[in-house]
Chains A and B, each alone.
Chain A
Amino acid sequence: MATTATFTRPRRKALFRAQDATTESWAVRGLLIGTAVLFLGIFLFLPLAVVFTAAFAKGVSLYLASLREPDALAAIRLTLLTAAIAVPLNLVFGVAAAWSIGKFEFLGKSLLITLIDLPFSVSPVVAGLIYVLCFGLQGLLGPWLAAHNIKIIFAVPGIVLATIFVTFPFVAREMIPLFQAQGNEEEEAALTLGASGWQTLFRVTLPNAKWGLLYGVILCNARAMGEFGAVSVVSGHIRGLTNTVPLHIEILYNEYHFTAAFAVASLLTLLALLTLFLKSFVEWKSRQPGAPEEAAGGREGAA
């Protein structure tokens, strides 16, 4: 018995000492954790709770009625349409830009990277104004567009254009570091094996980058559906025609329809939660090795 006691005691002591060496005292830990939790509570959880309590303040039936209202439905349809156009286009643009920047050396590369970041550094209001100045009635191409009866500003095309501009960097920014990190060797191998450029892109490069790509698309989509500033400038706020979900929420709020405003806002909040969930899922998935051990082992017998 005595031997066991002398054996365990030093071990425990060593364990405590190791912990002491790498951590702070209880007071410091408590203070840091407390500050973080308080901050999160006030700035994230409280607003989240408020959105849903306000949305359901006058009962489920009013909540559902606010969503079924024709103007609300029109706004949801327009938002979905905008995202459905902007996200695929930015997927193509983003992959093209990232492919050229990540895999090739050329003159003006850093300029191109700066240009891709422009939408992040420009205020969304300015982004919207750019299009008004280009395509508006008093703008550069305005008279010509009016003569040919093409409406861009205060119409759906303008909203789509502004959304594409604002969400442009998401896919490219996600893909550039990934492409750079993966290097060119697999592409070179594909090339010497006789694959064409397209075959290399679709069979080698993109499958290797699929999780990064999905990550970029999720973030791009979230921003496309939630964009307010740029879209607000070019939309013209025509109810049932050029209002997206965020614009619709603002109008409802300004007209003191608080419950309806929060009901529609809860949709965007749910989108945000879904985005966060998907984002974490993709992050977790992309950390997995090329293929799960069991799956490969299971299929081996079939070969």
Chain B
Amino acid sequence: MSIEVRNITKGFGSFTALHHVDLEIPTGELVALLGPSGSGKTTLLRIIAGLEVADAGTVHFDGDDITDRSARERRVGFVFQHYALFRHMTVFENIAFGLQVRPARLRPPKETIRAKVHELLRLIQLEGLAQRYPSQLSGGQRQRVALARALAVEPSVLLLDEPFGALDAKVRVELRRWLRQLHDEIHITSVFVTHDQEEALEVADRVVVMNQGRIEQVGPPDQVYDHPVSPFVYQFLGNVNLFHGRVDDGQASLHHRAAPAGPNLPDHDTVVYVRPHFLEIHRQPNGGSHFRAVIKHINRAGPVVKIDALTEWGDLVQVELPQEKFRELRLSRNESVFLIPKEMKVFRKSAV
């Protein structure tokens, strides 16, 4: 089922959580709402679910205006960050809840409910734990039970509010891959909220980047990552180094050094973003865009080596380089080197 949100505005007291938000989510897609806390992503999700009422605007499922329908009537599956499992019920009772509260004429017979619950338990790979209580499960298991409980009522859309936010790093990665696989199997239109850009880029078909109650950009992960439309999107989707620069006669410069691939822009002050892995370390200057820096800290743990360097004008910048390259260069602390930006994003200063 497709979801469409039109011109949604929502405020809490004097704080405006959403400003005239429009969003379309096609049937069967897995979409991430990505943004920092306070960007309005959870509020938008709760408005789609019917748990929150918008001040203005409409919500449509498959073209039908469902703005006035209650959460109960919308048939959405909702998964909460802190699971919200019924703590006095077993796993079995939790999953069966949605079917058991149906009015008698719509309620499936006991045997059907039982079969359905066991089918879902198989799906979430927790077949042996039907009689456990939520307090006896790990965080990852609880969230899978919450997902099964939401799926039991065969919802038209699945909404997940920071579903992996309360889990530890390793379980989080496992569970989000599992969610992706699950979605490939059941193709239910799904929206999940996250503040973790890695999670959004890895799992979603499309990413909706939100900031201060507005949608900044919508697109497939690679497009959003490679072609950010605003400084916010660029710096939110990964680590960045910020430089101040200028454009004169269409030529960009960075701290009075020529910057490569100057974009076709009118003259103005700019900010220049360079991702840490787009800064190259050299022992010799290249005669153009290079600048001097002194290595202050080296972190070799992990797949890439992370280096903090102090530029000649006194800013600390982050550089990432492959282990091989690092071994080749034999860098050490307090060594003076040349940094050359390979790729950069130039934005008008006023846009920041």
Binary contact readout A65-93 vs B (1 if CB under 8 angstroms, 0 otherwise): 00000000000000000000000000000
Cβ distance B197 to chain A, nearest Cβ, rounded Å: 26
B18 within 8 A of A: no
Q: Does A204 contact B (CB under 8 A)?
A: yes
- A185-B84, A188-B78, A188-B80 known; A193 vs B135 contact (CB < 8 Å): no
Name the A residues within 8 Å of B128 (CB-CB). 300
Q: How far is the CA of A199 from the CA of B102 in the complex (A)?
A: 10
Contacts A189-B146, A193-B152, A196-B72 given; 6 further ones with Cβ under 8 A?
Answer: A189-B84, A189-B149, A192-B51, A193-B150, A203-B97, A302-B131
Q: Mark A279-303, 1 if CB is under 8 A from B, else 0.
A: 0000000000111010010011011
Partner-B contacts on A (CB < 8 A): 185-186, 188-196, 199, 203-204, 207-208, 289-291, 293, 296, 299-300, 302-303
Contact A293 B136 (CB under 8 A): yes
Residues of A within 8 A of B136 (CB): 291, 293, 296
Name which residue of chain B comes closest to A186, CB basis: B84
Residue of B nearest to A299 (CB): B131
Q: Smallest distance from the beta carbon of A265 to chain B beta carbons, Å?
A: 41
Is there contact, CB below 8 Å, between B133 and A195? no
13 A-B pairs with CB atoms under 8 Å apart are A185-B82, A188-B71, A189-B80, A189-B84, A193-B101, A194-B72, A203-B86, A203-B97, A204-B86, A291-B88, A300-B130, A302-B131, A303-B92
Whether a CB of chain A sits under 8 angstroms from the CB of B77 is: yes
B76 at the interface (CB under 8 A from A): yes
Q: Name the residue in A193, A290, A291 with the highest tally of chain B Cβ atoms < 10 Å from its Cβ.
A: A193
The contact size tier of chain B is: 35 or more
CB-CB < 8 A to A192: which residues of B? 49-51, 71-72, 74, 76-78, 150
Which A residues are in CB contact (< 8 Å) with B141? none
User: A residues within 8 A CB of B76?
Assistant: 192
Pick the residue among A185, A199, A296 that contacts B101 (CB under 8 A): A199
Cβ A191 vs Cβ B132 within 8 A:
no
Q: Is B98 close to A, CB under 8 A? A: yes
Residues of A near B336 (CB, < 8 A) are none
Question: Is B53 positioned at the interface, with any CB of A under 8 Å from its CB?
Answer: no
The answer to whether A185 and B135 have CB atoms under 8 Å apart is: no
Is B40's CB within 8 Å of the partner chain A?
Answer: no
Interface residues of B (CB under 8 A from A): 49-51, 70-72, 74-78, 80, 82, 84-88, 90, 92, 97-98, 101-102, 128-136, 146, 149-150, 152-153
Complex CA–CA separation, A296 to B132 (angstroms): 6
With known contacts A208-B88, A290-B88, A193–B131 Cβ distance under 8 A: no
A290 lies within 8 A of B72 (CB): no
A109 to chain B, nearest CB (A): 15
- CB-based A-B contact count at 8 angstroms: 91
CB distance from A249 to the nearest CB of B (A): 42
Main SS at interface, chain A: helix
Within the complex, the shortest CB–CB distance from A107 to chain B, in Å, comes to 13
Q: Report if A296-B90 is in contact (Cβ < 8 Å); known contacts: A192-B78, A291-B135.
A: yes
- Please give, as numbers and ranges, the residues of chain A lying within 8 Å of B72 by CB-CB distance: 191-192, 194-196
| CA–CA, A190 and B136, complex, Å | 21
* Contacting pair A303 B131 (CB below 8 A): yes
Contacts of A291 in B (CB 8 A): 88, 133, 135-136
Q: For B133, give its contact among A190, A193, A199, A290 (CB under 8 Å).
A: A290
* C-alpha gap A296/B91 in the complex (Å): 11
Interchain CA distance A191-B82 in the complex, whole Å: 16
B131 close to A194 (CB less than 8 A)? no
Task: For the complex, give the distance between the alpha carbons of A140 and B77 in Å.
Answer: 56
Interchain CA distance A191-B49 in the complex, whole Å: 10
Inter-chain CA distance A203–B131, complex, in Å, is 18
Q: Please state if B101 and A191 are interface contacts (CB–CB under 8 Å).
A: no
Q: Nearest chain-B residue to A208 (Cβ)?
A: B88
Least CB distance, B93 to chain A, in whole angstroms? 10
Q: By the criterion CB–CB under 8 Å, are B131 and A290 in contact?
A: no
Closest to A185 in B: B84
Contacts of A191 in B (CB 8 A): 51, 70-72
Picked from A196, A208, A296, A302, the residue with its CB within 8 Å of the CB of B87 is: A208
Min distance, Cβ B304 to any Cβ of chain A, angstroms: 39
In angstroms, Cα B136 to Cα A186, docked, is 18
Q: Which residue of B lies closest to A193 (CB)?
A: B98
Known: A289-B135, A290-B87, A290-B88. A194 touches B153 (CB 8 A): yes
Most chain A beta carbons < 10 A, residue from B74, B76, B86: B86
CB neighbours (8 Å) of B70 from chain A are 191
CB pair A193–B149 under 8 Å, yes or no, is: yes
A280 to B13, CA, bound (A): 43
Quick check: B131 and A300 within 8 Å, CB to CB?
A: yes
Q: In the assembled complex, which residues on chain B have CB atoms less than 8 Å from the CB atom of A188?
A: 51, 71, 78, 80, 84
Q: How far is the CA of A137 from the CA of B31 in the complex (A)?
A: 72
